[in-house]
Amino acid sequence: MARLSIFRVKTVDSLLSEAETKGHQLKKVLGAFDVTMIGIGAIIGAGIFAMVGEAAVGAKSGFPAGPALIISFLLTAVACGFTALCYAELAAMCPISGSAYTYAYATMGELVAWIIGWDLIIEYAIGNVAVAISWAGYFNDFVKTAFGLDIPLWLRIDYRSFIQKAVTDPTVFDLASVPHLLGIPIIFNLPAVAIVLALTVLLVIGIRESTRFNDFMVVVKLIVLAIFIGVGFYYFRWENWTPFAPGGWKGIQVGAATVFFAYIGFDAVSTVAEETKNPKRDMPMGIIGSLAVCTVVYILVTVALTGMMPFMELRNKIAEPLIVGLEYNHVSPWLIGLVSLGSVVAHTAVLLVFQMGQPRIFFSMSRDGLLPPYFAKVHPRFRTPHVTTIWTGIVVAVLSAFCNIDEMANLCNIGTLFAFVLVCAGVIILRHKDPDRPRPFRVPGGMAIPVLGILFCIFLMNGLDKVTWIRFGLWLVLGLVIYFAYGFKRSALRAR
């Protein structure tokens, strides 16, 4: 029985009643507009401002997507669209803050729920590390363009990258010029740490204040991207689209797997379901609406970027492709500064929403007994999960100080795709196990869309490198060790 109990499911009714337990209630203040803006805030960020260059050039894989990156974005949008519909059905039916973790608990049992909850740490916390690192780069570009200030290199780069480059290019990466403490060079990403900690404070204060700040940032970054698209179309040259698909189908597939990072975030909407006033209506609108808006924006930006310059020119400054496109056409410096500002704002919005999502997953896992009850505490005044918010902020800040963006982004991609597969499977299982439950939103087309969602996600996962798969496997093994050492014995469901 103990062996089988790890697959025992928690009913939807039980999940809903536990969410109303006194002392664990979150404030319900969000409407449909807030939820949609949270989705857009989470999606448009480091992916479009940073990962487009790597996908177009094929920097790591050797298979460039080139202008055919447009097709890569469409493929990824289709995969995410299928999954978004599944998220919308489950979020409207079970508006609990745990996102895919909660849905897995209601469909596939406790062990799978733990695995997906542990996996979501990769999407939100590890994904936020990548975004924070990218934010630091664009922030330095902005202050350099706008104010003529340049943050010292040793205060805006990870330790390992600096040490490696000090060997190959000692004139730029000079270890002797770096401050030392007890013989150890002080090298860390200070801007990344600062922004993560600042947003952590904001999130502890309240969900309403956080969403208002997010709304403002979303409007700013959409305006900036619209200006970039207009400039790109003005300088568009058809000869830049020859060849259109230099890496062939493999380049398109690898490009789709790479730019998937640009779509991560629409599922973060489901983590605030418990704080939404009318989740049965607002959750489907927020999830599907935000994904649709961002897909249109991404395709227009890609058309503009690949049409305004030969895509291989991006290889010289791969982390900042939009800036490269503007510099290639010698536009006014104020436009470059504006795009840098827009990127800083976009990254900040993503950081905010991801930092909002991860603590709520920990909160739900703690409420179920799989993590210590300490993590289920709600602030008596602000009604936010302040303990998990603070700890998430500390961990993300420490990792962003020393880690590399490429490793973080690929690990984030595979973790998210795995979560998407289980969400699509959850819709199929609940349709079979609980067919009569009222569904405020129902995925159209029967089982076809969830199955297609699973297949498309597996297709994108196959585009990721072997090292990423190994790291993902090791991460899941570590999660299983923690579950059987703690969660298995203290599970609230098993105790009952």
pLDDT in tens, 287-327: 889 999 999 999 999 999 999 999 888 877 666 788 889 98
Domain limits, the chain: 2-495
Provide CB contacts within 8 A for 5, sequence distance 6+. Answer: 110, 493, 494
Are the C-beta atoms of 424 and 228 separated by less than 8 Å? no
User: DSSP 3-state assignment of 64?
Assistant: coil
CA dist., res. 13 & res. 280, Å (int): 15
CA dist., res. 490 & res. 65, Å (int): 49
**pLDDT at res. 3:** 44
**HSE-up of 402 (CA within 13 Å, CB side)?**
5
pLDDT in tens, 387-402: 989 999 999 999 888 8
pLDDT class of 21 with cuts at 50, 70, 90: low
Provide CB contacts within 8 A for 176, sequence distance 6+. Answer: none
Q: Which amino acid type is present at position 261?
A: F
Whole-model pTM: value is 0.80
CATH of span 2-495: 1.20.1740.10
CA dist., res. 206 & res. 289, Å (int): 24
User: DSSP 3-state assignment of 55?
Assistant: helix
* Mean pLDDT value across residues 161-170: 74
The kind and range of the H/E element at 181 are strand 180-181
Residue 42 in tokens: 């989470």
pLDDT in tens, 130-151: 788 888 888 887 888 778 888 8
Are the C-beta atoms of 264 and 412 separated by less than 8 Å? yes
Of 135, 193, 361, nearest in space to 268 by CA: 361
Residue 458 in this model has a pLDDT that exceeds 70:
yes
Give Cα separations from 365 to 100, 351, 460 (angstroms): 11, 22, 28
The kind and range of the H/E element at 184 are strand 184-185
pLDDT in tens, 69-101: 999 999 888 888 899 899 888 888 887 777 778
**pLDDT at res. 428:** 92
Of 132, 141, 65, 63, nearest in space to 317 by CA: 141
